[in-house]
Chains A and B, each alone.
Chain A
Amino acid sequence: MTKEEIQKQVEQIEIIYKSYLSNLLELKKKQDKILSDFSEVLKDKRLDQLKKELTIS
């Protein structure tokens, strides 16, 4: 491989890597959404319990 060829390939890898990080970030956002939805469900459950305790005693 010539110097120029290697340089081009490094640049291409850099682009792929940047693209990978960008996609990974999107998946991380999706993961955060799954977990925050779950957290909301737990919170609602806890509020239900609290309400149950408070409404009728």
Chain B
Amino acid sequence: MNSGEELKTNIQNLEQQLPENLEENFEINDKQKFEQYVDTIIDNVENEALQIKEDGLSTLDKTSHSYNLPEEEVTIIREENHVDAKLQSNFDEINQLNQNTTKEIKYIGEDLESKQASETQKSNIEKESNIVESTENKEELELGEYLEKEIFSKFSVSKESQERALAEAPEDKREVLERSFQNTRDSLATMYELDTVEGRVDEQAYELAKIKKNAEVAFPYLSNALQSFEQKAIENGIDFKITPQDLRVSPKFVDVGSLSGKFDLIGERLRNTIRNIVGEEKENEIFAKVDWEGLKKQSLENISKDINNQSPVSRHDFLKTMSREELTEILGAELERSQSSGFLNSNVSPDSLRKIVASGGFKDVLNMSEEERKNVSGGTRAFSDYLRHRKMSEESLNVRRTGDEVVLYGTYAHDFNDEKKYGGASQYGDIFIRFKPGTEVSYTEGDSMNPRDSALVKKKIGKAVSAKGFGYNRTEEYEYTENPKSRQVSEEHAPLAKALLVVDLKRQADMAGEFEMGRHYSYLEGQIRNPTFENIESINIPRSALENADGENVAFLDQLRNDPTWRDKINIIES
């Protein structure tokens, strides 16, 4: 879907539907045939629009069933991501385009007076502007210097702190610790770049402005071209006044994507108007002098440049920054919350917990027999890819050092959203196992194998890839070794790394406002090495999970709560 080739085909298909050799197919002097021609074109316009909408609905249906997800889940995802609403909005735009075009064609067909058209369109473009002024940044210290002098030491990740920590760390932890210091400094630097220098796009204001700008962006160019035309005409001894309205051009009729055609259309109208003033004989002479084609070319070049740079409203105009002090304060507050309330945990489903307890310990899919693996997930290609990627990632992070180790995935959760109630990645299960301090763990900013959503993480990855030089293609090797390593942090830096992620996600959500595409989420993923039941501090079960348990899990959870080995560790979380 949406591939370049498919779009090219679409263009070709659309072009093919244009009437060819109009002069040959159409008897020019036949008014009745002209009316039939207008009707046919209007029918075509409606049918094209209908076809695109039907294709959209059909693709929506096909996509909804393409990943074998349960209907209810797909329904929830469609709602959460406003898919139907967005599609409806797209249909509304198609309908509007359809109506406007039909009106324009009829307008020509009926040879209406220009005034009528411009008046009917005026009300649609008079909407208030929501353009947000971009924030100027004039910092006294260069950012790099500021970070080195004030921020790295404030957050205990300076090179001096690193040297001290490395001197005290056991040999086998030094490599990861050193990387963690560097990665955390990179994250801080990236966040300060993002929020105090470059800024984040106020998506909400941007979307609103785009709606307005679409109708407005091209109109001034047309007006300017007309003014230049008028000026040149005066210079050439032709004195007349002409406005866009005289040429049946209203702002609403000017669309960014169709300017070349619009200029041709206006050129034709201009010729007609001039012909009426000076007669046909002088028309060509005047046009040669005032150079409408040149004005058109120049205007289109300007517009094209403008659109290419700003497309069609510049996102850069909506960048919002904050002061260094403000960011430091927000980050400090989140770090405090993260330090005081953070904990290592792993979300599990009742089914998974039952299997873990029954087997007497945590298992790792990489250590399972082929038979056991088949029970987990039927031997698909995705499954074998996953296993290979997981092994690469874990080895690169130094959490899998020998073949038979167990690596359990969890998160660093803290008092953010509902994490204290439901764990740090509740999408993986309603229950969360909380681990004791001292459990051996390494972390990555975002999912080690599939980072997403966090602008901070994406920017870090982008910088790392850019540093490899122009044209570098991300390989599998990069994705599952260097990439996770560039996001790895040790336990010492987990509270700060989590605070950075949360501040990042909150900023993203604030900027997106009502235009947010689903909830942003990301977690500080924990790779827990060789966990045992001894490492478990508590098993936290929301009341709703108890109530919703079915089948074998009802008896299992009940038994667990009364089992002397486990009962002291079970917490029931009230909703």
Residues of A with Cβ closer than 8 Å to B? 1, 3, 6-39, 41-57
List, in ascending order, chain B residues with CB within 8 A of A53's CB: 376-377
* Interface presence of B129 (CB below 8 A): no
For A55, the chain B residues whose CB sits under 8 A away are 365, 408-409, 428
Name the residue on A nearest B427 (C-beta).
A48
Q: Which residue of A lies closest to B78 (CB)?
A: A38
CB distance from A28 to the nearest CB of B (A): 5
B255 touches A50 (CB 8 A): no
Task: Evaluate contact between A31 and B56: CB separation under 8 angstroms.
Answer: yes
Chain B residues with CB under 8 A of A33: 2
Sample of 6 A–B contacts (CB below 8 Å) = A1-B31, A19-B257, A20-B101, A20-B258, A35-B83, A55-B408
Contact A38 B63 (CB under 8 A): yes
CB-based contact A24/B52 at 8 Å: yes
Q: A52 near B349 (CB under 8 angstroms)?
A: yes
Cα–Cα distance between A40 and B59 once the two chains are bound (Å): 14
Check B68–A46 contact: CB distance below 8 A: yes
Minimum C-beta distance from B195 to chain A (A): 25
| 4 residue pairs, one from A and one from B, having the closest CB atoms | A19-B258, A32-B2, A19-B261, A20-B101
13 additional contacts, CB 8 Å, given A15-B265, A27-B90, A57-B355?
A15-B268, A17-B18, A27-B93, A27-B97, A28-B52, A34-B87, A37-B517, A38-B63, A39-B63, A42-B67, A45-B77, A49-B69, A55-B365
Stretch in contact with the other chain, from B40-48, B155-163, B230-238, B325-333: B40-48
Contacts of A35 in B (CB 8 A): 1-2, 56, 59-60, 63, 83, 87
Evaluate whether A9 and B386 lie within 8 angstroms (CB atoms) in the complex, with A18-B18, A35-B56 already known. no
Asked if B38 contacts A13 (CB within 8 A), the reply is yes
* Residue from B2, B6, B17, B52 with most neighbouring chain A CB atoms (10 Å): B2
CB atoms of B10 and A25 under 8 A apart: yes
Q: Does B450 contact A (CB under 8 A)?
A: yes
- CA of A39 to CA of B15, assembled, Å: 29
> A1: which B residues are within 8 A, CB to CB?
31, 34, 111
The distance in angstroms between the C-alpha atoms of A34 and B92, with both chains bound, is: 14
- What residues of B have a CB within 8 angstroms of the CB of A39 in the complex? 1, 63, 66
Q: How far is the CA of A1 from the CA of B97 in the complex (A)?
A: 29
Q: How far is the CA of A35 from the CA of B264 in the complex (A)?
A: 35
Closest to B56 in A: A31
Are B86 and A34 within 8 A (Cβ)?
A: yes
A25-B11, A54-B386 known; A14-B2 Cβ under 8 A: no
Contact between B28 and A3 (Cβ–Cβ < 8 Å)?
Answer: yes
- Nearest chain B CB to A52's CB is how many angstroms away? 5
- Per the bound structure, the CA–CA distance linking A53 and B386 in Å amounts to 12
Contact A13-B108, Cβ < 8 Å, known A18-B261, A25-B7: yes
Residue of A nearest to B359 (CB): A57
Taken together as a complex, chains A and B put the C-alpha atoms of A30 and B2 apart, in Å, by 9
Cα of A29 to Cα of B11 in the assembled complex, Å: 11
**B334 smallest CB distance to A (angstroms):** 26
- The interface size bin for chain B is 35 or more
> Is there contact, CB below 8 Å, between B66 and A42?
yes
A41 to B262, CA, bound (A): 39
A5 nearest in chain B by CB position: B111
- B81 an interface residue at 8 Å Cβ cutoff? yes
Residue contact A29 to B2, C-beta cutoff 8 Å: yes
Which residues of A lie under 8 Å from residue B518 when comparing CB positions?
41
The distance in angstroms between the C-alpha atoms of A51 and B393, with both chains bound, is: 14
Residues in B whose Cβ lies below 8 Å from that of A46: 67-69
* Closest Cβ–Cβ distance, residue A54 to chain B (whole Å): 5
The docked-state distance in angstroms from the alpha carbon of A17 to that of B87 is 24
Q: A19-B258, A35-B63, A38-B60 are in contact. Are A12 and B268 (CB under 8 A)?
A: yes
Cβ contacts B1-28/A at 8 Å (1 or 0 each)? 1100011001100110111001100101
Give the contacting residue for A27; candidates B52, B60, B262, B452; CB below 8 A: B52
Q: For residue A10, give the distance in angstroms from its CB to the closest CB of chain B.
A: 6
* Pair B34/A21 contact, Cβ less than 8 Å: no
Residue contact B105 to A16, C-beta cutoff 8 Å: yes
How many whole Å from A9's CB to the nearest CB in chain B?
A: 5
The answer on a CB contact under 8 Å between B52 and A10 is no
CB distance from B551 to the nearest CB of A (A): 17
Cβ of A33 to closest chain B Cβ, rounded Å: 6
Query: In the complex, A49→B323 CA distance in Å?
Result: 41
CB–CB A8/B268 < 8 A: yes
| Cβ contacts under 8 Å, B429 to chain A | 52
Residue of A nearest to B60 (CB): A35
Q: Which of A6, A22, A24, A46 lies at the interface centre, i.e. has the most chain B CB atoms within 10 A of its CB?
A: A24
Point out the residues of chain B lying under 8 angstroms from A11, CB to CB.
22, 268
Residue of A nearest to B387 (CB): A54
Most interface-central of B28, B383, B518 (chain A CB within 10 A): B28
How far, in Å, is A51 (CB) from chain B's closest CB?
7
Q: Which B residues touch A8, using CB under 8 A?
A: 268, 272
B105 touches A17 (CB 8 A): yes
Distance of B519 from chain A, by nearest CB (Å):
11
Per-residue CB contact flags for chain B residues 515-557 toward chain A (1 = under 8 Å, else 0) read: 0011000000000000000000000000000000000000000
Which of A23, A32, A34 meets B97, CB within 8 Å? A23
Known contacts A46-B69, A47-B450, A50-B377: does B87 contact A24 (CB below 8 Å)?
no
Q: Is B317 in contact with chain A by the CB < 8 A criterion?
A: no
- Checking A16, A29, A34, A47 against B108 with a beta-carbon cut-off of 8 angstroms, the contacting residue is A16
Cβ B97 vs Cβ A56 within 8 A? no
Contact B14 A6 (CB under 8 A): no
The answer for the CA separation of A19 and B257 in the assembled complex, in Å, is: 8
**Interfacial residues of chain B within 41-85, with CB under 8 A of chain A in the complex:** 41, 44-45, 48-49, 52, 55-56, 59-60, 63-64, 66-69, 73-74, 77-78, 81, 83
Assess whether A57 is in contact with B352, with CB atoms less than 8 Å apart: yes
